[in-house]
Amino acid sequence: MNTSSKLKVFLIIFFIAIFAVIAARHFIGLHFKKKFSVRPAPGVIVTKVEKSLFYKSIETFGTAIAQKSKTYRVRKDDIVGNLKIDNRFVKKGEVIIALKDEKNIVADFEGKIGKREIAQGVLGSSSLIITLDDLKKIVIDIKVPENYVGILKPGLKAEIINSAFNKTFKGKIDSISSRIDPSTRSILARIIVDNSNFEIIPGQLMTVKVIYDEVNQIGVPESAVTIQGNTAFVYIVNAGTAEKKNIKLGKRNFGKVSVISGLEQGSTVISEGVSKVRNKSKVKIINK
C-alpha cells in the first residue's frame, strides 16, 4: 500500500472516530437531559368546593340577667324550721320559707332560690334577703353603635360565650330601643338566651355576637386564594393538571372565603401547595 492510500485510510478512520465521539456525546447529553430536566410533579393538598354558611356579625358584651327575678326580706327570728335555700328549685305557689305568723313566703313563679346576707352593723342585719330567679331564659342587654341601626331587628340570631363554658349559647334579639343614647351614640338591644340547663348565672359577663346578612354560598379555604392586584384566583385540578380560575370573592368566615362567581360546586381546588403550582402544570394530590 502506497503512502497516498495509507493517508486516505487514516483520514477516513479519523473522521469516523470524530463522528462517533460527536454522536456519542449527543446521545449521552440527550439521555442525561431527559433524566434530570424533567422534575416530578409537586405534591398538593386539595379540597372539594362546597356550600357553607357565611355571615357578618356585630361583637359586643353584656351582663346576664334572669328573665324574672324577685327578692324577699325576712327576719331570721321569724323563720320556722331549717332554712333550705342552696341549689333549690321551686315551683310557682311553693312555700319558700315558713314563718311563725303563718304568713309564709310563696314563690310567685318557678325558679331557683338563693340568699344574700346583710352585712353586720347594717340596720336590720338580723334579716335575710331571699332571691328567686327564673333561669330558663336569660336576658342580656347590649349597646350597639348607632351605625348598625339599619341592621338591627327583632329575631336576629345571636351567639353567646363566656370563658367559664366550653360551648356557645344560642339566642336572638327580642327588642330594640326606640332611642339612641346621645352620650354614647349607641342603641340598646335586648337578647333572650336559652338557658334550659341552668348553666348561665345572673351577673356573668357574656360576649355576644349578633349574626346578620347570612348567605349560603360555595366557599374555599383562604389558603387556596391568590390575590394579585384586583384579581383573585385559585387552581382547580382536572386529570392531574392544575388549571387557573379567576374568581370573585365575597364574605370571609372561619378561615373560608365565599366565591360569588368563577367556580362550580364539586370542583377540586388546591388548598395547600399553591406557591409550587403553575397554570397547566402537572400536580400530585397527596391527601386522600
pTM (two decimals):
0.68
> Would you list the domain boundaries of the chain?
1-38, 41-64+135-288, 65-134
pLDDT of residue 159: 95
pLDDT of residue 40: 79
- Is the confidence at residue 72, as pLDDT, over 90? no
Contacts of 80 (CB under 8 A, 6+ apart): 98, 99, 100
Of the pLDDT bands very low, low, confident and very high (cuts 50, 70, 90), residue 285 is confident
Distance CA 283, CA 285 (A): 6
pLDDT of residue 4: 67
Distance CA 215, CA 248 (A): 15
Same fold, 41-64+135-288 and 65-134: no
Please give the mean pLDDT across all residues of the chain: 85
The pLDDT tens digits for 9-52 are: 666 776 677 777 777 777 676 665 665 555 678 888 899 999 98
* 152 to 169, 182, 199, 229, 230: CA distances (angstroms): 20, 18, 27, 35, 32
Q: Does domain 65-134 have CATH number 2.40.50?
A: yes
Q: Which of 40, 111, 18, 14 is nearest to 72 (CA)?
A: 111
Give the count of alpha carbons within 13 A of 89, CB side only: 7
Q: Which of 184, 186, 108, 180 is nearest to 142 (CA)?
A: 186
DSSP assignment string, the chain: --HHHHHHHHHHHHHHHHHHHHHHHHHHHHHHHHHHHSPPPPEEEEEE-EEEEEEEEEEEEEEEEEEEEEEEEEEGGGB-S----TTEEE-TT-EEE-BTTS--EE-SSSEEEEEEEPPTTSTTTTEEEEEEEEEEEEEEEEEEEGGGTTT--TT-EEEEE-TT-SS-EEEEEEEEEEEEETTTTEEEEEEEEE-TT--S-TT-EEEEEEEEEEEEEEEEEGGG-EEETTEEEEEEEETTEEEEEEEEEEEEETTEEEEEES--TT-EEEEE-GGG--TT-B-EE---
CATH topology of domain 41-64+135-288: Elongation Factor Tu (Ef-tu); domain 3 (2.40.30)
pLDDT of residue 288: 62
pLDDT of residue 104: 85
The pLDDT of 68-83, averaged and rounded, is 81
pLDDT of residue 37: 52
